[in-house]
Structures are given as structure tokens and as C-alpha cells.
Amino acid sequence: MVQCVKRSRVNREPVMDEANARGDGFSLRPARPDDANALTDIFLAAIESSVPGLPLAHTRDEIIVWFETKQILQAKVTVADISGNPAAFVASAEGWVHQLFVAPEHHRRGLGTALLAPILAAAEKPVRLWAFQRNAQARAFYERRGFTADLFTDGAANEERTPDVRYVWRPSNSLTRN
């Protein structure tokens, strides 16, 4: 059984719930600054796996510092732990999912869904995110969860200069589409 955190629509306080993710146990918790190394490793491995050859705009050390001093402190970052070790994370703020990454060895275990579900369950307004156009796996994941593409760009405005697509999920969209 899996422990998942859901947010009450009334007071937004965490509510513990159990769900089954193919028998793989994991728990969700808020990120801490000392997670920066692990989150950087997840981010880099996921990018290399899903978008091979993507030109990175920052070094590994710069990404660690960014997690420690900015992302974890300024966004709501939730970590999925397996056996006490970070395996995936989501960063969100003000109607945006800024990052959702799962370590490649933990794909298809329900971690991404468990991290995304509380954000969507609490949403009263549309939720948006960006994905790289060539990241077919991420795009399919979001589309199965009711996100729709609403803007395609040539990537000139992102740090990687790689074509991307903006997705939007509306509270009336189905969270259970497969």
C-alpha cells in the first residue's frame, strides 16, 4: 500500500490517504534543502532518459544551489520517497507545475500520478505546465491526465532553446483518463 498526501478542498491541510501503486510502497513529503543533491540527480537522469542530448543551461553544481536556495524555499516541492530515498518530485506554485520528474528506474510505479493528483484535486483554477515537444513520454502522461496542449513554441524563450509545448488542465477535466 502507498501513502499519498491529498489536500482538503476546505482548508488545504494534508490528509493522509492510501492508494495502490502496483504494490510499490512510497510516501510523499515536503522537500528539504538537504534534498538538493538527490533532486538534482533525479532531474538530470530524467532529462537524459526522456530528452537525450538536451542542451543544459546550467551545471550540476548550479542546479544544486538553485534547489537549495530558490526552488525548495520558494515553490511547493513534494518528494516521493521509496525506502526513505527520493525517487521523484514535483514543484508547483500559483497554478503552475514547474517541474515533475521521476527517476527513470522508478517509472510506471504511480509516483508521477501520486505527486500530481493533490495539485489537481486542490485546483480551483486552471493548472499549467511546460514540456519539451520531443518528450513524448511526458506529453502522453499529461494528456492521459486531462491536460491539453494550448501553445507550441520554437523554444526561443526557454533556457535550453528547445521547442516546447504549454499544457493546461482545467478543474472540469477528468483526472482519471487513461
- Second CATH level (architecture) for the domain 2-125: 3-Layer(aba) Sandwich (3.40)
**pTM of the predicted model over 0.75:** yes
Helix-, strand-, coil-residue percentages of the chain, each rounded to 5:
30, 30, 35
- pLDDT at residue 175, as a whole number: 52
Sign of CA pseudo-dihedral 144, 86, 66, 75 = positive
Cα distance between residue 167 and residue 146, in whole Å? 10
pLDDT of residue 24: 52
Q: Pull the grid cell for residue 111.
A: 509516483
Average pLDDT in the chain: 86
Residues 6+ apart with CB under 8 A from 101: 42, 43, 46, 47, 88, 89
pLDDT in tens, the chain (178 residues): 233 433 333 333 333 333 333 345 899 999 999 999 999 999 999 999 999 999 999 999 999 999 999 999 999 999 999 999 999 999 999 999 999 999 999 999 999 999 999 999 999 999 999 999 999 999 999 999 999 999 999 999 999 999 999 999 999 855 544 4
Please give the pLDDT value at position 172. Answer: 81
Spans of all domains in the chain = 2-125
Query: Is residue 60 helix, strand or coil?
Result: helix
> How many whole angstroms separate alpha carbon 32 and alpha carbon 78?
9
